[in-house]
Chains A and B, each alone.
Chain A
């Protein structure tokens, strides 16, 4: 009986400890921006959301986007965005780089939950490369989910769509402002 209890205790300890390594900072903001822009990282800009932007963002995220403005980085036709989006209960910090009209890169900067961390792997993130925005606020590519990580997958997809939408707005505004 004692040996059975010992085995069960060890199994629980191993399972518990195995979960803790899933959380953490995978990529700092600085490293993400350097990957996106090289050594010359542009200064962060602030995009002020219009009422239409807020309505669209709410349709994409299924909740209001808090705040009146969003931070972004832009160099020519390339922009980078960082958002926190809740997976199941905790926010996932997600970085998206858009160039032209397509996603160039998706990165998971920080993951705070005990499950769903598989979204950090390139096999999942690389699916977004080349995706564009299709009306009404959908990705042009089908993204395969990950069993057991549905909520994390949905969070990344929503942020990718939001980044594409806001990139369009920023580029349109820049074009209007250009002499």
Chain B
């Protein structure tokens, strides 16, 4: 005698189980981080700072950043900690100081993402127009070794450097909770996990309702 064909609910139950297993890792991460974030103040997560070098590095926070030094006469331009300094004074954000060139009567500081025009005294004049291509890097004619930078300027620059306490655990947990810790792809993956949770909730209720109905019919 042939057994009756499985119902739609019976066909979907294995999928519910498979997706449940697949989603379980996400459930653990999201539930754990959510629990901790609910008690941010009690646990002082926004006051506890990350010390782990690899985690800091993941966020692009380098403890010992590279130094780029250029000299034009009495003007010393330094790139350190993503900041451009002129004679020790912090001027503007500069991803990495790639080159310094004379541009007519002015000075052009070429950062990795932008150019800045300065006066010969090191005053920030204006950004290089983004609509115009940056001049090519030349032979780094004015580059100097970091050890040649005047000591007082280096001391001033270091006092401006990013504080070691710049990344707290609340940030890490928020980014892990949302998937953002793994970049924009991580956000999409966690969005996908959310869709799986929705599927699990709906399919679970649907299968449960079917079982209840079947039990009533048996009775």
Contacts and interface: CB of A to CB of B under 8 A. Distances in A.
Contacts of B91: 66
A152 interface: no
Contacts of B188: 12, 15-16
A173 interface: no
Contact of A84 (B119, B130, B132, B192): B130
Interface in B176-196: 184-185, 188-189, 192
Interface string A1-39: 100100010001001100000000000111000000000
- Range, interface on chain A: 20 to 34
12 contacts: A1-B18, A15-B188, A16-B185, A29-B129, A29-B131, A66-B116, A67-B127, A68-B119, A69-B126, A82-B131, A84-B127, A91-B130
A109 interface: yes
A76 B192 CA distance: 57
A12 B129 CA distance: 36
A93 interface: yes
Contacts of A82: 129, 131
Interface of B: 15, 18, 91-92, 116-117, 119, 123-127, 129-132, 184-185, 188-189, 192
Interface in A61-120: 66-71, 82, 84, 91, 93, 109-110, 114
Chain A, interface SS category: mixed
A178 to B, nearest CB: 25
A120 to B, nearest CB: 16
B131 A70 contact: no
A71 B129 contact: yes
Contacts of A30: 131
Given A8-B192, A12-B192, A67 B131 contact: no
A26 to B, nearest CB: 12
Nearest to A110: B130
Contacts of A70: 126
A28 B132 CA distance: 9
A92 B104 CA distance: 28
B130 A93 contact: yes
Contacts of A4: 15
